[in-house]
Amino acid sequence: MDPSRGRDDGAQQPGATGDRSTLTLHINGTEQTLTLDHRTTVLDALREDLGLTGAKKGCDHGQCGACTVIVDGRRANSCLLLAVAHDGARITTVEGLADGDRLHPVQEAFLDRDALQCGYCTPGQICSAVGMLGEAADGFPSHVTTRTAPVSAPAPLDAPEIRERMSGNLCRCGAYPRIVEAIEDVAP
């Protein structure tokens, strides 16, 4: 491991002006205290410091969605989140979706529909779909939601809605039709 990374006790708390801080992340229900260079993104902390390689580094610029995780209940691009700014955050990665041996319904649907080819984008697609279903349940509209749709009611999810809401996740194999079908299977 790079000696500048990882757990040690020599760093200052957030609020200091050094280059490193000690912070706590709640990852998949487990509290993790880390001392990290301020430049470390949540994605790099997950992959390099915590060994959770489910979230993938695709573009590293927020354009592909392969790094999508759920932060405090909302999906986000972990490649653009500085870990130090997320001290105390509750983060769910693809590794934390299953309930023991029972897969999350979105994971099951991706298997049932064979909604992947190479699989590199799949953890991001699945975390994004889980987050998106929560947003729709909370009444978040999308660009294709009709202007007359009731405000503050759960948003119905047909295929055009799913495609629009999942546009932050690219699949270079082009498995989109099956991805949309899998999410339709789970959508209310």
Contacts with another protein by CB under 8 A lie at 14-19, 21, 37-39, 41, 60-62, 65, 68, 74-77, 80-82, 84-85, 128, 131-132, 135, 138-143, 145, 147, 151-152, 163-169
> Quick one: 100 or 151, whose CB is closer to another protein?
151
Residues 17 and 27: their CA atoms lie apart, in Å, by 26
Least distance (Å) between residue 166 CB and another protein: 8
Q: What is the 3-state secondary structure (H, E, C) of 109-152?
A: HHHHCCCCCCCCCHHHHHHHHHHHHHHHHCCCCCCCCCCCCCCC
Least distance (Å) between residue 136 CB and another protein: 10
Least distance (Å) between residue 64 CB and another protein: 10
> Quick one: 88 or 111, whose CB is closer to another protein?
88
Least distance (Å) between residue 100 CB and another protein: 28
User: Residues 165, 142: contact at Cβ < 8 Å?
Assistant: yes
> Quick one: 31 or 164, whose CB is closer to another protein?
164
User: Residues 81, 71: contact at Cβ < 8 Å?
Assistant: yes
> Quick one: 2 or 101, whose CB is closer to another protein?
2
CA distances from 124 to 47, 67, 133 (A): 14, 6, 14
Q: How many CA atoms, within 13 angstroms, populate the side-chain half-sphere of residue 125?
A: 29
